[in-house]
Structures are given as C-alpha cells and as structure tokens.
Copies of this chain bind each other. A is one copy, B any other.
Amino acid sequence: MHMIRAAVAGASGYAGGEILRLLLAHPEVEIGAVTAASSAGQRLGSLHPHLTPLAERVVEETTPETLAGHDAVFLALPHGHSAAVAEHLPDDVVVVDCGADFRLRDESAWTTFYDTPYAGSWAYGMPELSVGADGKQREQLAGTRRVAVPGCYPTAVSLALAPGFSAGLLDPEDVVVVAASGTSGAGKSLKPHLLGAEVMGAMSPYGVGGVHRHTPEIEQNLTGAGGDQVTVSFTPTLAPMPRGILATCTARLRGGDDQRPTAADVRAAWEKACADEPFVHLLPEGQWPSTGSVLGSNSVHLQVALDQRAGRVVAVAAVDNLTKGTAGAAVQCLNLALGLPETTGLPVAGVAP
C-alpha cells in the first residue's frame, strides 16, 4: 500500500504540533504540506523545537494550492475557519477538523455559544462514545471522509459518564462536572494570565456559570448515550501543568430509595463500556486516574465510585488534552476512515514520571 500523504493546516499551534508529532510515528503516513497563517515562512524548528526530524521544514501559507494533492488534511485552525478551508478540498480526501465548527448537531446550541455562522455537523470523532444501550460512535466513522474531532473537555467528561447513561443508571438532570486542564488547553495565546510566572503554583476557574463552549457538546454526547436530555453544570479550571485534563464528573443515581442501582451495578456498567476498548482503561477498584499517567498517550484512564451518602456516582477521567483530547483522536479517526487498524501509530503508554 502506498503511504498516506497528510497535510496539516494550522501547524504553528499546540494542536498542530501534536498532530505532527504523532504522524512522525505513524507507519502508514508521510507528512506533506505543513501550513499556517502568520507563521508561514518560518522554520518548523523555531516554532516547535521538539519536532527535531522536521526542524528544517519551512511552513507554507494555508491555501487551496498548498493543501491540494493529499490523501488527508488535518485542520487545526481557530474556530470558524474550517468551513472555508474545507470547501476547497475534494470529497474523497479525508478531512479531520480539530476545531469546534462541525461538532454540534443542534444549530441553536451553536448559535447560543458561538458567534460565527453555523456550519453544519460532521461525523463526530469519538469512536468509544456509547450511543444508546449497545452502540458505539465508532460505527459512524468507518470510511467517512469528514470528521469533527471532539473538544478536549468533552472527551474526558463523555467517556467518564456515558457508561452510566447508556446503562440507564443515571439521572439526566443535575450532572455536575468540575475539570482541570493543563495550560496548553488555552493554546499559544499571549495573555498575561498564561505566563509561566502566573500559572505555576496557581489554580483558577474560568468560564463559570454554564458559559463554557464545551457545555453543549458534553450535553449532546450524554444525551445521545442515554436518550434523555441531559443538563450539565460544568466548571473548567486551569491547573499548573503543561498538559492533561482531570475531569471529576458526578451524577445522581436514578430511581427511588428502594430501587437504587448498587455499587455492583455501577461497576458492571463501566466494565461493559470499557471492555474491548483499546484506549479506554477502567482502573482496578481503588486506583484513581492521574493525568501524569497518560501524558503524550492516546489513553483514557477511568475510575468510578458510588457515594451512598450523597446518592451520587463519581466518575473521573484523565486524558492528555493534546493527544487523546485532540491530535490522538484525530489520528485515530483517520485510521478508522481509511480502514487501518484503529490503534495504528498511537501510543498507549504515557510518558512518566
């Protein structure tokens, strides 16, 4: 089989850099055009000094011409820019969009949270997501040519809680999620509060009160898993680490006092959902996920517990926001789209300590 030729548009940012890092290790892909906007003309070695094998590559401008002639194009652009780039790409090219543009199936949810026009929706790139009692989102991705890669928070939250919703154990009202993200999640934005001196030693929330744009995406995923409309109180926080998301997700148990699910019911539901998943690992009881254990990998570490006093399930997921939370999912979907083994080229072990 000939090598898959892949371009990366928006290569100067953290997501673009991570896609390139993973493609370097992918045995079936060769890296084609590497493009950006204001960084065009720079050596990749000055933008991403960690990508040693690509150091001498010069970044090109993102245009229909530079992106032409590839089997796959990854888009790592600011929100609102993907549709304009994608419309120039042939139908048979696999386009994997790491932005938000094509994630939401509900136009009104989009317009409530975003200020650019609704662009439609593509196949949602979370293969492991439970869809109803027995299905998985994976089925929608085989052979597709347009993929919307999930947001980093929705990846962690949805994989943490979907097992309980698909099993009918959880009350769709009053889900509460607090998640901590490493600062690469904010991108390479030059803002004072993202400076190292401000970030180290500091945790702070942002987007509080239901205004974070990942809220409707989380609700879309959990609603799809369980069937009933889910409402989420979601609070993201910024943590003093470069990468990683730890999502602490709680939901009330369904049912009256005499028919509440047991701890065994809960464990069984999560075990069922994680069985046979190559990247989602339910840890042994009593061991809790750490973002440090999934650094640089496409793995999701999960654990769940039942708080009998509070009547709530607490499910926790750890992912690397740049790998499984963005670029790893993008490559995983490329594999599915092209009929390659889903795990091709993707690290499962994290870099620790």
| A interface residues (Cβ-Cβ under 8 A, vs B) | 14, 17, 21, 24-25, 43, 45-46, 48-55, 174, 176, 178, 180, 182-184, 186, 188, 190-192, 194-206, 208-210, 215, 231-233, 235, 237, 239-244, 246, 248, 250, 252, 281, 283-284, 287-297, 299, 301, 303, 305-312, 314, 316, 318, 347-353
Contact = CB atoms under 8 A, between A and B. Distances in A.
What number of copies of this chain does the assembly contain?
A: 4
Contacts of A182: 197, 201
Contacts of A202: 241, 244, 290-293, 352
A200 to B, nearest CB: 5
A250 B176 contact: yes
Contact of A243 (B14, B194, B201): B201
Contacts of A178: 178, 248
A176 B310 CA distance: 9
Contacts of A14: 197, 353
A246 B237 contact: yes
Contacts of A176: 176, 233, 250, 310, 312
A192 B188 contact: yes
A290 B203 contact: yes
